[in-house]
Amino acid sequence: MIVCFGEAMVRLAPPHFARIEQCRGFDVEVGGAELNTAAGLVRLGREATWVSALPDTSLGRLVANRVREAGVGTDHLAFTTDGRCGLYFLEFGASPRASSILYDRKQSSISQVKPGSSSFWHGKKWGTFNWGEIFDGATWFHVTGITAAVIEDRDVLSEALSAARGAQVPVSVDLNYRSKLWSPDEAGRVMAGVVRGAELLIAGEADAENLFGVKGENFAEVAKQLADRFGVKHVAGTKRSTPLVWRNNFGAVGYANGELHETPTYEVEIVDRLGAGDAMASGIIHGLLDGDFLKGLQYGAAMGAIKHTIPGDLPWIDKAEVEATMTGQGLRIKR
Amino acid sequence: MIVCFGEAMVRLAPPHFARIEQCRGFDVEVGGAELNTAAGLVRLGREATWVSALPDTSLGRLVANRVREAGVGTDHLAFTTDGRCGLYFLEFGASPRASSILYDRKQSSISQVKPGSSSFWHGKKWGTFNWGEIFDGATWFHVTGITAAVIEDRDVLSEALSAARGAQVPVSVDLNYRSKLWSPDEAGRVMAGVVRGAELLIAGEADAENLFGVKGENFAEVAKQLADRFGVKHVAGTKRSTPLVWRNNFGAVGYANGELHETPTYEVEIVDRLGAGDAMASGIIHGLLDGDFLKGLQYGAAMGAIKHTIPGDLPWIDKAEVEATMTGQGLRIKR
Amino acid sequence: MIVCFGEAMVRLAPPHFARIEQCRGFDVEVGGAELNTAAGLVRLGREATWVSALPDTSLGRLVANRVREAGVGTDHLAFTTDGRCGLYFLEFGASPRASSILYDRKQSSISQVKPGSSSFWHGKKWGTFNWGEIFDGATWFHVTGITAAVIEDRDVLSEALSAARGAQVPVSVDLNYRSKLWSPDEAGRVMAGVVRGAELLIAGEADAENLFGVKGENFAEVAKQLADRFGVKHVAGTKRSTPLVWRNNFGAVGYANGELHETPTYEVEIVDRLGAGDAMASGIIHGLLDGDFLKGLQYGAAMGAIKHTIPGDLPWIDKAEVEATMTGQGLRIKR
Amino acid sequence: MIVCFGEAMVRLAPPHFARIEQCRGFDVEVGGAELNTAAGLVRLGREATWVSALPDTSLGRLVANRVREAGVGTDHLAFTTDGRCGLYFLEFGASPRASSILYDRKQSSISQVKPGSSSFWHGKKWGTFNWGEIFDGATWFHVTGITAAVIEDRDVLSEALSAARGAQVPVSVDLNYRSKLWSPDEAGRVMAGVVRGAELLIAGEADAENLFGVKGENFAEVAKQLADRFGVKHVAGTKRSTPLVWRNNFGAVGYANGELHETPTYEVEIVDRLGAGDAMASGIIHGLLDGDFLKGLQYGAAMGAIKHTIPGDLPWIDKAEVEATMTGQGLRIKR
Amino acid sequence: MIVCFGEAMVRLAPPHFARIEQCRGFDVEVGGAELNTAAGLVRLGREATWVSALPDTSLGRLVANRVREAGVGTDHLAFTTDGRCGLYFLEFGASPRASSILYDRKQSSISQVKPGSSSFWHGKKWGTFNWGEIFDGATWFHVTGITAAVIEDRDVLSEALSAARGAQVPVSVDLNYRSKLWSPDEAGRVMAGVVRGAELLIAGEADAENLFGVKGENFAEVAKQLADRFGVKHVAGTKRSTPLVWRNNFGAVGYANGELHETPTYEVEIVDRLGAGDAMASGIIHGLLDGDFLKGLQYGAAMGAIKHTIPGDLPWIDKAEVEATMTGQGLRIKR
Amino acid sequence: MIVCFGEAMVRLAPPHFARIEQCRGFDVEVGGAELNTAAGLVRLGREATWVSALPDTSLGRLVANRVREAGVGTDHLAFTTDGRCGLYFLEFGASPRASSILYDRKQSSISQVKPGSSSFWHGKKWGTFNWGEIFDGATWFHVTGITAAVIEDRDVLSEALSAARGAQVPVSVDLNYRSKLWSPDEAGRVMAGVVRGAELLIAGEADAENLFGVKGENFAEVAKQLADRFGVKHVAGTKRSTPLVWRNNFGAVGYANGELHETPTYEVEIVDRLGAGDAMASGIIHGLLDGDFLKGLQYGAAMGAIKHTIPGDLPWIDKAEVEATMTGQGLRIKR
């Protein structure tokens, strides 16, 4: 069982590239970095559970229903009467107008969770996340910098990480820095603790410099420093270029034990690029669980590339088509 | 110029009676009690302006665009960087399942407005509502109990009411008690001050008892006591029966100077009953501005009845069809 | 082959009861009185052809495509470069707001047709309707007062009627008076000529009085006078009551040879009442073609009643379900 | 854990009352009698699992995703390479046109399941339903006559029933006779074996006569004979009247130990009546699991009534609103 | 009259690139290789009739209605009570995810047709296709390998081909090999007989090798061998490259009398590429009917290219715009 | 206050690239060259009013509502009982099929306006445009060749221009030649008078030659001649290349005082290219109002480029994003 811990939001997006201010309807999706990765792992044949809190309202149930639809476990999902359901509003763009996001996630239920004692209502009983039970039999723990940023009480995540380490569960962290949530300074300070000793760190070069002051000529140099400073075994990143809003190039790069690995780059036509990085993370974790980082990067690059073609944040991808994409199946219609 | 002061929200509702937790899309409308009434007055040929605050985001602009679309003035509409855009989620029901609303309006921009000094950002300058300018040349001031409840600092509304009274602008108040916003006690205490001396009070019997402890055998008895206690000239209410969710009966009743006025009752087939009471208010104010309370009730009943047939909160109604409805034009297709 | 002659328009209607002035989309249907009747006859197993003219544009082709989709013949449908495609805008209502129609049909191609010589472009050749060829082998000719009103040159219809009479083809006329198209006086003058000698006249009591000054206590009295004055064999009318916009009662009534026939009345829940009278006409003609007026009224009442439940102007009805409705099959779901 | 065994289909229905032959799009839902009941039990706070087989295709996954979304367990759901995904096409009607269904379910995966040995592909291994494991810890087994009809090899259901009886798991059977699936004779012969010894039999009077030749003046007489003949403890049925297609009256009736129980009747406005009987079944089982048949009928009647108001076959109903409906909460909008 | 013989299916595709397993609605189109070609010929001003069989259900009527809408003749279309309506489910892709199709066409009505005697219900009478009558006055017969594959009884097509040859009607065959329908061996054996003596064979190089073992360096070499071996006058193929899923290059190539003809290649932006090859076939046949193969290839290339831009399988293309495309009219908006 | 004078139409376009003749629904937008420019100026922070006439119908109100929604002033918008609402039908294309427009604007209300005396109904009073009042305090007057073409009585525009000149209001003219409205000869003759003495002329090289016989090697040569011949201060044009229907390159070029200015070219992905030139015009006028032609061209190029990405004719663009685009903000998602 892979444990993913974080927030999910209801996503509201006007159809067909409309601006929010002119729109008359929103398509409704559900997404959240760790949830997206959990869903990706399920698509690759793994079992994953999503630890989070949602308000006990129709919106909270909407999120939970979609989590279950994706095959992700909800045994440790709490329904609380504290806080609201996080939302985000998405405008799809076209060159030269980039897509853009308006967050409305303050006071979300997960952000109000408190550590260690009766802080929220769970299955009709007041309680808290029972990390001991959660990590019992777990094979992996995945979290991102967003979780670190949104939960107001920093001790909640610390408690989770301690429990994971205590249970010898390998940890992956996607840095995922969001400037609207916290400052680089605060993020750097907090994330240093989160990242320490991780099996896998996913980080871009810009964030590495921004949060940790780590600079280098290229990904390998940056990754090496991150690995050394934080005692991280594997460091991974995306290779993305953005010639147009509707067409990007996407691949993965990784560093471990002094070695750099790189996947081919896919030319992607973009239906919905939200969650592409999270889908990549699921591929990398999938490989590492089999003890094969390069395989992980390859699955991750293909998962991430295909995700660009699927509406919503969740990676509704077949394992078979991931593998067919990795071996170059071509773009003709499949009959 | 009629001045209406209050909050408007973006309304999100699944199409075709779907539950929120199962839905894949929301229809987007904009509504708010005082805004709806302002729009109704515009449809009846009056000029109305809506005083409010919105966040300076795409959602805030969405609301403002729709306000202008309805022909309501926005000269005193502020865009602020404080607070968010209020939202509400609506589920349309069918017997025996009533329609229901989930509010997500906490921390809205208007709720954060402060009185008397530089509290928000308006037209690129920090400032506040300039009530003197707002009421200059105004012919009426309309507000509801919702405004009283949502603005955290109670002095904002007091300031507005003082300014209106100072400028001899007649005031109408729709009690509009919402139990999710405040307790009956608090509402009763605050609204007593708001209502005092109003030209028009719109109130239901249940709220009158609930907030003010005023009881009676019928509307006339209750209205008389309200009029006497608060020095209110006209008291009005709705006559509604709810045999089914999709079919109601709707009319208006009013009390003034010891006399009870009643309109006929319309059998309404319900497309969207949100804003029906606010549409009724616009009809009543329209009549009072012509010095004719009974006319007002008749316009109000017809406006309210027709509003049930129109999607969204705003009364997209023709004055001509209001009058045709009042004179019984029949239900056959108009070619 | 049954020949139906008249105009069809593209119909634009906002979905879900929206007002036109607030709408963001139109559903597109195609309808026209004689076309609707032709389609109804096809559904009852007859062959029917629609004589008309359309502009040689994408809108004209849209209409023609839909005519063919309904199984109606288009051998005598002309594409012209004169005139535009008639349109009408429909607002669906709910009590107490009636549905309403805004016509935009001026200068339509059919309205510009001229009699007797090269007046329009047909199949790449300039020509006119060849009534001799059209009525060769025809078993019936159906037309309504709308055709009489919209074609600017009155001789076109006269020519058609003469040809039909010459070919011994029985004629049916639905009075279908539209006050937006012409005055009662002009309509009465023209329609007197159209109606004369018809096998079937469909007329309501109000129109009979309005156009011809024919009055009576009831349908029978009116019908008798119409039959006598114009030498018409069968006179038929609808029985409709309109308790609500979404629920009507519908049946048929007919007079012939001094006898009154009446069908039961169906309680109808209304999805789309446009074309109900035209569907009824198809049922009556169907019966008369079998020499059985009462049967015709019974088919007509059922066709008309069912039409209220079907989106669009065209009667997508199964003959089998017409007959099941006539024999009272019940309202439970058919599995 | 409650075990429900049966088929689910993808349901395709044109929006807004369109006929299938005129439609340009289908709304997609998923439904099946036993699945619907399982979902209802989950909504009432019970754990339920759905035993079935689906093709290993995108359509099969669509069904499975929706099953999980509804919170129903899929531990014993098989993906096979035998057979196709059952479909049904639904036309929504309006008086006097009843709604109707076109089934396209032949050769569905579940219909091809074979008993006792390697007959289908399950979780990548060839196998069969392991009834011993399935009923281990089960508290109830629910099945309907549809399952008996669609699985070509009758031994599959026999095997399941034997296993349930062996494990002392109480059984409920909804007769659910479908004339398109089998003859009354064959159904009577097979269902006699299925029903025998059931804790609960849900049956209508017409089916009782049709299948078993059991007649009576009223439900009580029929139920008594069914109970006696088949050794069934509780017999339940619906009370439905159908004045209009969009408005029915709905309640439940039950017989046990010589006593007749009846619930009040709800006036229902119909959004989607599919699955109402299955929702009722979930309420009755819920009561019986608490040892209270009357409570079950009351929950069942309310569940069934509310189901009419919800799009799709699945009962997206809150337990709280079921209870509020049972105590008469009224039809006004809930704010 | 051009005779086209084959199957059509209802096509169900989720809008906006959604995966089938996540979708909530399907767009409904109708398509089939020979039907698409018939429709293309009608768009080019020819008369064409479609010979096929459909179930006598609302789905069968849906197909027939659309066939008529496209202007294709249905005089020889049978409605049967044997078999179901073929369906196919389409997922639109984006690079690197190709579009894909899930067929559900087994047991379709046309597949169950039997030769020579009372095998299906046609216009209320049991009978079979009357090939003598069908080919009376026919100018062309078009069929594809799909027809050969789906009709279970191989004699049906043989009978049709014999009748065509007997009536001196030129035959065109599009090889259209579908691996999900039959093996290359069986297809090769059957198609050898179908192709023999054809006026036109449309075949790709891969299929030529796969079915007939014919190899060559280029299209000309392969085409020459096919022409020689099967006594075929004209051999044509598509030139397609697939740099991206949303952008292809498309043209036509042909071989006759030792000469190779090639059209320019169009860069196509892809809305819906289904039916592009069939549209090309209609252009080629159009040219050959005028005795001009090169003209046919040019019309075919333009028809095929434009088809990529039109939703659905049918080529809603104007002859005028085909010709404008052939002469390079440019891509600016046409006002 | 900037004064813009012209026609607006209701635009009807099938969604998702459908042909008009196959479509079942239209998206509804509102557009018109001068209105679009007025809206663009409002988005850049200017005040603009739109002078026009509309029919006093639901369609006329639809247009007016949208004008107000866009923040454009309607103080001088007349509602008349003369004429109809102009319409245009738009088909979105894809390579090699260009987008295309079908106009249905004859007899529009604005086209029927007469100069100088009581020719239309305005705010319940018969009257005409009061140009004196309109230009009182105006800072700019914008008009295009479309206005010159559509108003049947040429004196109306002359009157407006005289009034503007009399009030010293600078004038901009976009040549906007539409061959469907008038011949090059007539347009050249009329536009010579309109253009004379303008502050800004927007004209393409083809139209300059076509209407005025002005030729040159490049834009600079043509612009110089236009400036000289008509006494125009600034001449501007678009730089557009059209490699594909969905991807264009777009920039602006200008000439003044012997100098040529050019902006960078944006690669645009096209959602909706209608109104791009009008959006560019708003940017140029914005700059000229600040006395800076180059700035105007830069704003114009960015406004025009971004407009391609927004559904509808109106430029729902943020001033901030215009400026960010001008400084190259990149195409990554904005969080």
Question: What are the start-end ranges of the H helices in B70-144?
Answer: 131-135
pLDDT over threshold 50, residue A96: yes
- The ipTM value here is 0.95
Pairing of strands B125-127, B140-144: unpaired
Please, which residues have CB within 8 angstroms of residue F324's CB and are 6 or more apart in sequence? none
Q: Tell me the nearest-neighbour CA distance from F16 into chain A, angstroms.
A: 9
pLDDT over threshold 80, residue B116: no
pLDDT over threshold 60, residue A329: yes
Q: Which of C16, C95, C246 should one mutate to test binding to chain B, selecting the residue with the greatest count of B CBs within 10 A?
A: C95
CA A294, CA D244: separation in Å to the nearest integer? 65
pLDDT bracket for residue B118 (50, 70, 90): very low
Does D81 contact A at CB distance below 8 Å? no
Of E268, E314, E330, the CB nearest to F98: E330
Lowest-confidence range among B275-284, C217-226, E324-333, F262-271?
E324-333
Of A20, A27, A89, the CB nearest to B24: A27
CA E191, CA E180: separation in Å to the nearest integer? 16
Pairing of strands F48-55, F77-80: parallel
Q: Is residue D32 part of a domain?
A: yes
Question: What are the start-end ranges of the H helices in C92-183?
Answer: 131-135, 145-150, 155-166
Q: How is chain F split among helix, strand and coil, in percent rounded to 5?
A: 35, 25, 40
Pairing of strands B100-104, B87-91: antiparallel
Q: What does the pLDDT average to over A3-25?
A: 98
Q: Is residue C74 part of a domain?
A: yes
Query: Residue B111's pLDDT is what?
Result: 95
Backbone angles phi, psi at C230, to 5 degrees: -105, 5
Q: Is residue D230 part of a domain?
A: yes
Q: Is residue C324 part of a domain?
A: no
Domain count, chain C: 1
Mean pLDDT of chain D: 95
Of D17, D178, D246, the CB nearest to C311: D17
Does A93 contact F at CB distance below 8 Å? yes
Contact F269 A245 (CB under 8 A): yes
Angle subtended at Cα D288 by Cα D284 and Cα D292, rounded to the nearest 5 degrees: 100
Neighbours of B137 (CB within 10 A): 10
Determine if the peptide bond prior to E96 is cis (ω within 30°): yes
Mean pLDDT of chain B: 95
Query: Residue C326's pLDDT is what?
Result: 96
Lowest-confidence range among B126-135, B234-243, C206-215, C300-309?
B126-135
Query: Residue E236's pLDDT is what?
Result: 98
Q: What is the pLDDT of residues D18-42, one digit of tens each?
A: 999 999 999 999 999 999 999 999 9
Query: Residue C329's pLDDT is what?
Result: 82
Neighbours of E102 (CB within 10 A): 20
Q: Is residue E335 part of a domain?
A: no
Q: Is D63:D30 a contact under the CB 8 Å cutoff?
A: yes
Q: What does the pLDDT average to over E237-255?
A: 97
Q: What is the pLDDT of residues D260-283, one digit of tens each?
A: 999 999 999 999 999 999 999 999
Contact C245 B321 (CB under 8 A): no
Q: Is residue E119 part of a domain?
A: no
Does A81 contact F at CB distance below 8 Å? no
Tokens 């809206």 found at: F39
Contact C334 D178 (CB under 8 A): no
Determine if the peptide bond prior to A115 is cis (ω within 30°): no
Of A19, A96, A180, the CB nearest to F305: A96
Q: What is the pLDDT of residues B313-328, one digit of tens each?
A: 999 999 999 999 999 8
Q: Is residue D331 part of a domain?
A: no
Query: Residue E27's pLDDT is what?
Result: 98
CATH number of the domain residue E247 falls in: 3.40.1190.20
Neighbours of C123 (CB within 10 A): 9
Contact E84 D106 (CB under 8 A): yes
Catalytic residue among D82, D207, D272, D278: D278
Check residue F2 and report its DSSP letter. Answer: E
Pairing of strands B200-202, D77-80: unpaired
pLDDT over threshold 50, residue A124: no
Query: D-chain residues within 8 Å CB-CB of E57?
Result: 102
pLDDT bracket for residue A127 (50, 70, 90): low
CA B179 to chain centroid: 16
pLDDT over threshold 60, residue C249: yes
Query: F-chain residues within 8 Å CB-CB of B68?
Result: 68-69, 71
Q: What is the pLDDT of residues E23-57, one digit of tens each?
A: 999 999 999 999 999 999 999 999 999 999 999 99
Contact A68 D69 (CB under 8 A): yes
Q: What is the pLDDT of residues D136-168, one digit of tens each?
A: 999 999 999 999 999 999 999 999 999 999 999
Does C28 contact F at CB distance below 8 Å? yes
Query: F-chain residues within 8 Å CB-CB of C84?
Result: 104, 106
Q: Please give the residue of chain E at the shortest CA–CA distance from D22.
A: E62
Of C306, C311, C312, the CB nearest to D97: C306
- Which stretches does DSSP call E strand in A186-296? 200-202, 234-241, 247-256, 259-262, 266-269
Q: Please give the residue of chain C at the shortest CA–CA distance from B66.
A: C22
Element (H, E) at B279: helix B276-289
Q: Which residues face C25 on adjacent strands?
A: F27
Lowest-confidence range among B99-103, C287-291, D56-60, F128-132?
F128-132
CB pairs under 8 A between B and F: 14
Q: What is the pLDDT of residues D182-235, one digit of tens each?
A: 999 999 999 999 999 999 999 999 999 999 999 999 999 999 999 999 999 999
pLDDT over threshold 60, residue E203: yes
Catalytic residue among F27, F278, F313, F318: F278
Q: What is the pLDDT of residues C209-241, one digit of tens each?
A: 999 999 999 999 999 999 999 999 999 999 999
Whether residue A278 lies in the annotated active site: yes
Of F94, F178, F242, the CB nearest to E309: F94
pLDDT over threshold 50, residue E306: yes
- Contact partners for chain E, using 3 or more CB pairs closer than 8 A, are A, C, D, F
Catalytic residue among A278, A290, A292, A313: A278
> b/e string for B106-117 if b means 16 or more Cβ within 10 A?
bbbbbbbbebee
Q: What does the pLDDT average to over B190-205?
A: 97
Pairing of strands B266-269, B247-256: antiparallel
Of residues C129 and C277, which shows the higher confidence score? C277
CA C172, CA C195: separation in Å to the nearest integer? 8
CA F135, CA F3: separation in Å to the nearest integer? 7
Query: Residue F118's pLDDT is what?
Result: 42
Q: Tell me the nearest-neighbour CA distance from B312 into chain A, angstroms.
A: 11
pLDDT bracket for residue E330 (50, 70, 90): confident
Cβ-in-10-Å burial (0-12, 13-18, 19+) of B133 comes to: exposed
Q: Which of A29, A62, A267, A269 should one mutate to test binding to chain E, selecting the residue with the greatest count of E CBs within 10 A?
A: A269
Q: Tell me the nearest-neighbour CA distance from D97 into chain C, angstroms.
A: 6
Does E27 contact D at CB distance below 8 Å? yes
Contact F21 C87 (CB under 8 A): no
CA C51, CA C133: separation in Å to the nearest integer? 12
Q: Which of residues 162-221 of A touch F (CB under 8 A)?
A: 178-180
Q: What does the pLDDT average to over F199-221?
A: 96
Query: Residue F274's pLDDT is what?
Result: 98
Query: A-chain residues within 8 Å CB-CB of D65?
Result: 69-71
Q: Which of residues 35-64 of D touch E (CB under 8 A)?
A: 57-59, 61-62
| Top-confidence range, D105-119, D251-265, F116-130 | D251-265
Contact C96 B312 (CB under 8 A): no
pLDDT over threshold 90, residue E124: no
Q: Is C96:B332 a contact under the CB 8 Å cutoff?
A: no
CA B11, CA A20: separation in Å to the nearest integer? 13
Q: Which of residues 131-160 of A touch D (CB under 8 A)?
A: none
pLDDT bracket for residue A121 (50, 70, 90): low
Pairing of strands A247-256, E87-91: unpaired
Contact B17 D335 (CB under 8 A): no
- Contact partners for chain C, using 3 or more CB pairs closer than 8 A, are B, D, E, F
Q: Please give the residue of chain D at the shortest CA–CA distance from C272.
A: D17
Contact A58 B106 (CB under 8 A): no
Boundaries of domain holding B162:
2-326
pLDDT bracket for residue A120 (50, 70, 90): low
Mean pLDDT of chain A: 95
- Which stretches does DSSP call E strand in E86-196? 87-91, 100-104, 120-122, 125-127, 140-144, 171-174
Of residues B174 and A120, which shows the higher confidence score? B174
Q: Tell me the nearest-neighbour CA distance from C71 into chain D, angstroms.
A: 12
Mean pLDDT of chain E: 95
Contact D335 B246 (CB under 8 A): no
Query: D-chain residues within 8 Å CB-CB of B22?
Result: 310-312, 314, 316
Catalytic residue among E82, E207, E272, E278: E278
Q: Is residue C330 part of a domain?
A: no
Neighbours of C50 (CB within 10 A): 29
Element (H, E) at C121: strand C120-122
Q: What does the pLDDT average to over F227-256?
A: 98
Of A247, A310, A335, the CB nearest to E180: A335
Mean pLDDT of chain F: 95
